[in-house]
Amino acid sequence: IRFYLHDQFTGSNRTSAVVLPPLNNETLFGQVAIIDDKLTKESPINSKLVGRAKGFLVLDSLSSSSFLQSMTVELEGRKGTIVFHGQNPFTESQREIAIVGGTGEFRNVQGYALTSSVGSEP
C-alpha cells in the first residue's frame, strides 16, 4: 500500500495542531501535536484522496531530531484500520515505523512502513 500523507500545520486548512507547547524552545522537547491528515494517491495535495491518518506526535527527545508517532490510518473503500507506532527520526532521508496492528480486514497485521519526506507546500 502506498500513499502520501499531507501534514498541514499552518494556514486555514490545518490538519495538525500543537496541543501542548514545548518545555524547551531549542529542542522542542515536550511538544505534543494531534493530526487528522489527508492521505492521497500521488504527491500533490490535490490528487485523489485515499484516506486519513489520525493520531498524535510527541517530541520526546532532548538530544535528537526525533518524535514518537502514533496514528491510525483509515483507507477509503477498505473495511478496517492500520495502526502505526514508533520513533520517527524526521531528519533521516528514509525512516521505518512499526505497524503494530489493525482492525477489520487488517486485523492482526504487523510489520513496518518505509517513510520519507518528499517536500512541502506553502
Contacts 24+ apart (CB under 8 A), 93-99: 93/117, 97/69
The answer to whether 89 and 96 have CB atoms below 8 angstroms apart is no
Q: Is residue 54 part of a domain?
A: yes
Nearest to 34 by CA among 64, 73, 69: 69
Q: Is residue 8 part of a domain?
A: yes
Contacts of 33 (CB under 8 A, 6+ apart): 9, 16, 17, 18, 19, 56, 57
Q: Which three cell numbers stand for residue 63?
A: 538530544
For the whole model, what pTM was predicted? 0.88
Q: Alpha helix (H) ranges present in 1-122?
A: none
pLDDT digits (tens, 9 = 90+) for 71-102: 999 999 999 999 999 999 988 999 999 999 99
Q: Is residue 120 part of a domain?
A: no
Q: Is residue 122 part of a domain?
A: no
Q: Is residue 121 part of a domain?
A: no
Domain range spanning residue 59? 4-115
pLDDT digits (tens, 9 = 90+) for 24-47: 778 889 999 999 999 999 999 999
